[in-house]
Structure 1
Amino acid sequence: MRRLPLIALTLLLPACDSRVDPAPDTPAETPISGEPGGGISDGADSPLDPAIAAGEIPARFHGVWDAVTGTCDPASDMRVEITSRRIEYYESVGDVSGMGSEGDDAIADLVMEGEGETWVQPARLSLETLPDGEQLRISDALKPESPDDPLRKRCPA
């Protein structure tokens, strides 16, 4: 009878090993950071966009954007205004707390505020060149980009 507990203890000892090895195929994440030189990169040896390195949204995304069929009127619910440190939506505003990139896309960590609530939202900003001109897609950076994410046209200045 004494051998049974000893055998069980011997079998459990390897399970008590405190070392934890990460799975070899698990990609390492780079945190989004507002610090110069921080942020997500595409893994290539290309230099980080200076605006992203400074924790700002790159100038190519700045301006007023609206739904492709929108009027660009301030009352349009798909209208967004983007500056270097802020994205203003119809009923909410997001201040940049960190920036990163994946390829040509900018990834903005936004501290959002709207309708009496606050939350953090990572947003992917990507530009697409189409026959009618350049269009902006804003999507959830934690999810795969989807063709269902709406496109926006640049509004006249």
Structure 2
Amino acid sequence: MKRLTAMAALALLAACSSEEPVPEAPASEPAATASASPAASAAPAAELNEIPAAFRGYWDAETGSCANWSDAQLTIEARRVQFYESLGEVTSLSQPAPDTLVIDFTMSGEGDTWTEQATYRLLDGGQVLESSFGDGEAFRRKRCEALVDMPME
């Protein structure tokens, strides 16, 4: 009798064990779909009509104080970028990678207007912004909570 009970218990255990892999297979399929989903949901360059939120905000030179008078200050908004003495209105955007943005601007400042293309790249978890214009050298800025109104040094 003990032997029959033990065999019945083993049979039940084996039956339970064979059912476990079935739920695991469907569970792993959605995980694979979910990991592919962000790439599939990324907006193509033609559909990108605003600067992504990760790039927006206040920026100053890496060694700067985030003062509102800093000539390295940069304020990025949804459709424009405010520089120290000029303003760039976005004419087109593309995002070749999640951390990289290419913007074509119509610029105005100091009585002039011109066109410009800039490439922005987020580094250090979005706390550093590397920017370059045309074939120029890259310049790094740090993220600021706000541009601070402080006396000039």
Which TM class, normalised by the smaller chain length? 0.5 to 0.7
TM-score w.r.t. length of structure 2: 0.62
Change over 3 Å in CA distance of 1:52–1:153 after alignment to 2: farther
Q: In the aligned structure 2, how far is the partner of 1:137 from the partner of 1:93?
A: 18
Question: Residue type matched to 1:79 in 2?
Answer: Q
**Which is richer in helix?**
2
Q: In the aligned structure 2, how far is the partner of 1:51 from the partner of 1:64?
A: 24
Alpha-carbon contact 1:52-1:101 (below 8 Å) kept: no
Task: State which of 50, 72, 75 in structure 1 corresponds to 2:66.
Answer: 72
Deviation, 1:118, is 0.5
**What does residue 123 of structure 1 align with?**
118
Alpha-carbon contact 1:51-1:57 (below 8 Å) kept: no
Q: How does 1:87-126 map to 2 (within 5 A)?
A: 87-104=81-98, 105-126=100-121
Runs of at least 5 residues in structure 2 that lack an aligned partner in the other structure: 1-38, 147-153
Q: What RMSD in Å do the two structures reach over aligned CA positions?
A: 2.3
Q: How does 1:139-150 map to 2 (within 5 A)?
A: 139-140=132-133, 142-143=134-135, 148-150=137-139
- Count of paired positions: 107
Query: 3-state SS of the aligned residue for 1:112?
Result: strand
**What does residue 8 of structure 2 align with?**
none
Task: State which of 62, 68, 74 in structure 1 corresponds to 2:56.
Answer: 62
Query: 3-state SS of the aligned residue for 2:124?
Result: strand
Q: Deviations over 1:39-78 (max 9, x none)?
A: xxxxxx7544389724211100000000011111110000
Q: In the aligned structure 1, how far is the partner of 2:48 from the partner of 2:41?
A: 13
**What does residue 79 of structure 2 align with?**
85
TM-score w.r.t. length of structure 1: 0.61
Q: Between the two proteins, what is the percent identity of the paired residues?
A: 38
**What does residue 140 of structure 2 align with?**
151
Runs of at least 5 residues in structure 1 that lack an aligned partner in the other structure: 1-44
